[in-house]
Amino acid sequence: MAMGATLGYNAGRKDTLTIAHAFRASQSKVPSLMSRMIRLSLTGLLLASLIAGCSSTPRQLSELPATTDTPVEQILRQAERRSGAEANLLRLHAAQTAWSRNQPEQVRSILALIPQSELPLDQQQRFSELQARSELALGQPAAALRALRHPSLEQFDTLTPQAQLDIQLLRADTMAAAGEHLNAAQERVFIHNLLPTPAQQDNLTAIWSELNQAPTEQLREASATASGDMAGWLSLALIQRDHGNLDLQVHAMQQWKEQHPTHPAADTPPEGVSRLLELHAQRPQHIALLLPFDGNLSGAADALRDGFLAAQYHSYSRGLEQPQISLYDSGSYTDLMQFYRQAQADGVQWVIGPLDRQQVARLADQSQLPLPTLALNYADSSATPPAGLFQFGLAPEDEARSAALRAWQDGHRQMAVLANRDDWGTRAAQAFAAQWQELGGTLTGYEIIDQPAGISGQVANLLRARESEQRNQEVQNAQDGDDMAQPTPRTGLEALFLAANPFQARQIKPTLVFQYAGDLPVYATSHAYRLSLSGEPNADIDDILIAEIPWLLDRSDSLYDSVVDSWPAAAGPMGRLYAMGVDAQRIFGRLLQMQEQPDTRIEGATGRLSLDSNGRIHRELSWGQIVDGQLQPLPSLPSIEVMEPMLR
């Protein structure tokens, strides 16, 4: 028993050797079954001998073996025979042994038996490390971070260089899992030159991945005060945020390399950066815009085209070569395969469009497509689309999923849904419910709002305030009192999700006030308010939280001013389509990168854009709040990728 041999070797050596000689002598004289019985008895004798004859027990962490074959339970039984510091040290060794055997639950339970504050510094440090590793393995990164921030680990100079490096790597992994991606990147930048050469490339990749997941505003704030290699990393990461266009990104990266010739990422670029340069060299030279320039969708098509070409011209005006654009009227083709044959004959390499949902659905049903295509809508089919078909649009599902994420991040766990009967309302409600339940939230109610006269009663049913009113009335009648308790909404209901038009939304807030739930947070899609070019205020919806595209919420997109100057309608509701055209131009050149590197994000005019495994672009919306009838931006919170590790 390795542990016992280490703890009691000097005092018990004579007895141990005697027993061992006896055992070897008997081994050749008994049957195999008897040998096993004697071997088991020997283990007990050895343990008893070592414990009984032990004149000096370990008092320092360094006296414990790094590894042992001893069962954890056996070490714990030894600890029970000790007291004070000796017992704590044995239990710490048991926890370390449990961790080496991939038993984080057992590590947690053993550490709960040890008073960390009573341990010497080195044992406190080992305790904190084991606690952090086990909590991280159990999916509790916040608890792991608390362990790593224990005062004992602030005294790094007492640890060996390798131990310090191990703690810092653990800290970086834990920060990443807890959503502190910028801090994780900073930790890795700090230790990069201390890592062995083979590990440095992986560290560069990890730094780049963490920076890509950090919110843009955090990167900007950190960039203002950063220095050294970290400053270079931040400016490199912001290139992707500030330049949605692939050509502009590559141009900016070339300038960055000239400014940071000795930076680690200049000599050995992260895979994401080097691949971006490769994709830029392979970018298409001829693109087709396939849009309906006649009919009901012609107005939307015009806005999409103008936004796309504005982004194209912006790059061209900066001296960057741009692909040829050919316009095709999707209404001219009853069979889209006819269009593809024509496009191929014209030398087209990529297709942007169509816009019509039915045409997109027909493309999604194909086994393969002649040319890679970025459709500007989504097919309803859940079947896997053909390779080379990507789908991007302004789907209500994106706003609903963003609402679920925002509400979760705001700390809510129990919500109810109010949705109208329209197609977009139904789709939004279903998407919200699915995302909310996937996060772990509870749906406490669902009401379909329709007739204006019935909304008040439906909200009351959802809140179950009437039950409270009835109970209060019964109490009042029984007591014949003059004072009546104020009714309260349903116990546990923390917020509402609203998928309604502006007229319906105007009835919600007053109804909530009437039902004694005026302070209940309401998260709504952009359909709930009117965006007016004249600035006309929205009445009766103050405090409602609204999902909106960055183009219209903060108006900070690099193309906003030039596009609105040319097309004033881009500042109003049609701005969503102009912004979509801008983003379509930004997306198509990076689709292959987004496929290869799923953590790639584009800070677009229509939201934070990502690509799923089925080729669908997802948008994470910005959030605002109605103040005095106008939508005002709210501070951004960590994105879905930040939250996911905390939800596992």
Q: Quick: pLDDT tens for 589-632.
A: 788 878 887 878 888 999 999 999 999 999 999 999 999 999 99
The listed range with the strongest mean pLDDT (238-242, 338-342, 555-559, 584-588) is 338-342
**Which residues, at least 6 apart from 136, have a Cβ–Cβ distance to it below 8 Å?**
144, 170, 173, 174, 177
Does position 576 have pLDDT exceeding 90, yes or no?
yes
**Which residues, at least 6 apart from 325, have a Cβ–Cβ distance to it below 8 Å?**
287, 288, 289, 308, 309, 312
* Percent of the chain whose predicted confidence (pLDDT) is above 70: 84
pLDDT number for residue 474: 44
pLDDT number for residue 156: 79
Per-chain mean pLDDT for the chain = 84
pLDDT number for residue 592: 83
- Give the whole-angstrom CA distance, residue 444 versus residue 491: 10
* Percent of the chain whose predicted confidence (pLDDT) is above 90: 60
Which residue, 220, 210, 229, is CA-closest to 267?
Answer: 229
The answer to whether the CB of 406 falls within 8 A of the CB of 545 is: yes
The answer to whether the CB of 379 falls within 8 A of the CB of 360 is: yes
Which residue, 584, 585, 587, 557, is CA-closest to 570?
Answer: 557
**Residue 638: pLDDT band with limits 50, 70, 90:** low
**Which residues, at least 6 apart from 172, have a Cβ–Cβ distance to it below 8 Å?**
184, 187, 188, 191, 206, 210
pLDDT number for residue 366: 93
pLDDT number for residue 217: 86
**Per-residue model confidence as pLDDT tens digits over 524-566:** 999 999 998 888 899 999 999 999 999 999 998 989 999 999 9
**Per-residue model confidence as pLDDT tens digits over 395-421:** 999 999 999 999 999 999 999 999 998
pLDDT number for residue 418: 92
**Which residues, at least 6 apart from 55, have a Cβ–Cβ distance to it below 8 Å?**
10, 11
pLDDT number for residue 37: 42
Q: Is 483 helix (H, G, I), strand (E, B) or coil?
A: coil
- Give the whole-angstrom CA distance, residue 537 versus residue 530: 8
- Give the whole-angstrom CA distance, residue 171 versus residue 156: 13
Q: Is 74 helix (H, G, I), strand (E, B) or coil?
A: helix
Write the DSSP symbol of residue 359: H
pLDDT number for residue 52: 40
Residue recorded with tokens 């000795």: 262
The answer to whether the CB of 171 falls within 8 A of the CB of 160 is: no
Planar angle of CA 602, 603, 608, nearest 5 degrees: 85
What would the two tokens of residue 644 be? 């996911």
**Residue 354: pLDDT band with limits 50, 70, 90:** very high
Helix (H) or strand (E) holding 21: helix 2-27
The pTM of this model reads 0.66
Q: How many angstroms separate the first and last alpha carbons of the chain?
A: 39
List the single range of 350-354, 512-516, 540-544 with lowest mean pLDDT. Answer: 512-516
- Give the whole-angstrom CA distance, residue 645 versus residue 648: 6
What would the two tokens of residue 557 be? 């997109």
Phi, psi of 91 (to 5 degrees): -65, -40
The answer to whether the CB of 512 falls within 8 A of the CB of 483 is: no
pLDDT number for residue 496: 94
The answer to whether the CB of 296 falls within 8 A of the CB of 334 is: no
pLDDT number for residue 523: 97
- Give the whole-angstrom CA distance, residue 42 versus residue 36: 10
List the single range of 229-243, 322-336, 552-566 with lowest mean pLDDT. Answer: 229-243
The listed range with the strongest mean pLDDT (235-249, 351-365, 504-518) is 351-365
pLDDT number for residue 31: 43
Distances (CA, A) of 50 to 15, 37, 59, 202: 9, 20, 16, 47
Distances (CA, A) of 556 to 550, 559, 619: 7, 8, 17
Tell me the sheet residues that pair with 120.
none
Question: For the residues 271-281, what does the mean pLDDT come to?
Answer: 78
Does position 294 have pLDDT exceeding 50, yes or no?
yes
Question: For the residues 231-241, what does the mean pLDDT come to?
Answer: 90
Residue recorded with tokens 């100079």: 157
Helix (H) or strand (E) holding 22: helix 2-27
The length of the chain, given as a count of residues = 648
Domains in the chain with CATH codes: 286-391 (3.40.50.2300), 396-548+620-647 (3.40.50.2300)
